[in-house]
Amino acid sequence: MSNKVLEVRNLTKEYEGFKLDNISFSLDKGYIMGFIGENGAGKTTTIKLIMNLLKRDEGEIKIFGKDNIEHEREIKERIGFVYDECFYYENLSIKDNEKIISGFYKKWDSKVFDSYLKKFNLNKKQKVKELSKGMKMKFAIASALSHDAEFLILDEPASGLDPVMRRNILDVLQEVIQDENVGILVSSHIISDLEKISDYITYIQRGKIIFSKATSDLMEEYKVVKGDKSLLSKLDKKVIYGLRETPYGFEGIIKDIHIDKSIRQKIVSEKPSLEEIMVAMNKGVRK
Amino acid sequence: MWKMAMRDLRGILNLYNNRNGLIMIVVVIFLGITNKGNGLFSYFLLMGGIISIAFTEMESRDKIHISILSSPCKRSDYVLGKFLSTIIWIVAITIIGLLLSNLIYMIYPVENLKLPISIVKGSISYILIFVALYHCVYFSLGIKFARIFYFIIFFVIMAGILTIGEFLKGEPLPSWLSSIERFLVLFQSNTVASNIILVMLVLAVLALIATISVVIYEKKDF
């Protein structure tokens, strides 16, 4: 039996002024994948395609090994979703919203839902419109986790939240992933959060996947290089991403290449943060 | 589809089970009793139609369709559930309206509160088709167009109910509506055959509107 929770193959979707171009990536059970990219890169478009909120032009999306459109209802029983906004009845209380949401899921467990509400300090009688953004997000997470979902999709769950609230949400996700049958796809442009929890990182830029690999491999593969400006002439600028020159030196990110030993001794090489990789990749190399 | 319809009805009842609902009923009874020549029942049904539309408006404002379509619910189920809930809601409102109307007539027996069966048949058909049309516009063109249609529909419902209501009570129809006079006989006649034809006709129109809505909604991006 396949261990894949999600398989996206050659997915294409074109709008006016934007194209999601032939993207492919996959996620196994028991792992968290961070889906990163700048605003407008195609993260939400990809997630909407996975959820069949957008119609794909070409390609294939399989969830639990099944086509996401042909087996839509069956698949969505096993998916928990959290979007960057709370799409529930604002004029109804959490309790009334729960009654409505629970009707969709065969495996809805009110006790689990109540336990999350308690954990998040949410009052069941409170109307959704009275909740703060962080509380709404917690309510959405509680809903996503109360029907035994095996695949969680979170689109910018931490956007607009303060660091404490963000940390809380990350802690919950880390707790959830202790169950090895669950896979989590989290999109965010708050890279530092994803760096802490993601096993895999998929980076999308202007509708194309730049890389999709294990976070640990990524950190090994890319290096921040700094050095005296005189050394720059001895390096191939075409392999330095996000090259930044100052009157005294240079800084950039290189990917998995072998630098001549004599130069390597003179330059400073450091482990980059995910954010540094993303920014450098976004700037690209000099041509 | 059934689940969706139940969800809709639960949502409507949750929103209108408070004093707002009560105030609306009191206003409708007041209008029905005081407006000479206009039936309480028609106002009551009109209120039912407006509540159904207002609920969809509220769903659109809260972007509920995003969470519904992300749940185990097909687009066709969502759309057809909406139509089914509209039918159930209007039928329920009709029954309550009938009971209320008869009760008030028993207490306060004035002629304009007397409810001919043709008014019941005409009003329910009218409201069902226009609420269905509103939802068809909503599902195919979006909320902005639906709002424009809402105002048009609102006045059409008002003008339609009042004009056709008068005709069904025996008044002559205005010249611009004379071409549908034959069709309106269906409402006046109370034979089993005419009742069956009317129900089939209304259901066929609703089915057509629902099918068009599903076909368009299936192709939409959100």
Question: What ipTM does this complex have?
Answer: 0.82
**Residue-range domain boundaries for chain A:** 4-214, 219-283
A70 contact B CB<8A: no
**Residue-range domain boundaries for chain B:** 2-218
Nearest CB among A72, A79, A89 relative to B11 is that of A89
Mean pLDDT, all residues of chain B: 80
CATH topology of domain A4-214: Rossmann fold (3.40.50)
Residues whose CB falls within 8 Å of the CB of residue B34, separated by 6 or more in sequence, listed in order: none
Rg (CA), chain A: 21
Nearest CB among A73, A83, A103 relative to B6 is that of A103
pLDDT score recorded for residue B37: 46
Q: For chain B, how many residues are written?
A: 222
What's the rounded Cα separation, in Å, for the pair A106 and A74?
10
**Mutation site for A-interface testing, chosen from B67, B76, B85, B217 by largest number of A Cβ within 10 Å:** B67
Decide if A100 and B222 are in contact by the 8 Å CB cutoff. no
User: Looking at beta carbons, which residues of chain A come within 8 Å of B15?
Assistant: 91-92
B74 contact A CB<8A: yes
B212 contact A CB<8A: no
> How would you write the pLDDT of chain A (287 residues) with one tens digit per residue?
578 999 999 999 998 889 999 999 999 999 999 999 888 889 999 999 999 999 999 999 999 999 999 999 999 999 999 998 889 989 889 998 998 888 889 999 999 999 999 988 899 999 999 998 888 988 999 999 999 999 999 998 877 778 888 888 888 888 888 878 899 999 987 888 888 889 999 999 999 998 899 998 888 888 888 888 777 777 777 778 888 888 888 888 888 666 777 777 778 888 888 888 888 888 877 66
Task: Categorize the per-residue pLDDT at B17 as very low, low, confident or very high, splitting at 50, 70 and 90.
Answer: low
Nearest CA in chain A to B63: A87
Is pLDDT of B23 > 80? Answer: no
Q: Is the dihedral of CA B43, B45, B47, B53 positive or negative?
A: negative
Asked whether the beta carbons of A86 and A136 are under 8 A apart, the reply is yes
Decide if A100 and B15 are in contact by the 8 Å CB cutoff. no
pLDDT score recorded for residue A168: 83
pLDDT in tens, B144-164: 898 888 788 667 666 666 666
Query: What crossing angle do the helices spanning B181-188 and B117-141 adopt, rounded to 10°?
Result: 120
For residue A272, the distance in angstroms to the closest alpha carbon of chain B comes to: 37
pLDDT in tens, B173-213: 666 666 666 666 666 677 778 788 888 989 999 999 999 99
Residue A127, strand partner residues: A93
pLDDT score recorded for residue B180: 63
pLDDT score recorded for residue B166: 63
Q: What is the 3-state secondary structure (H, E, C) of chain B?
A: CHHHHHHHHHHHHHHHCCHHHHHHHHHHHHHHHHCCCCCHHHHHHHHHHHHHHHHHHHHHHCCHHHHHHHCCCCHHHHHHHHHHHHHHHHHHHHHHHHHHHHHHHHHCCCHHHCCCHHHHHHHHHHHHHHHHHHHHHHHHHCHHHHHHHHHHHHHHHHHHHHHHHHHHCCCCCCHHHHHHHHHHHHHHCCCHHHHHHHHHHHHHHHHHHHHHHHHHHHCCCC
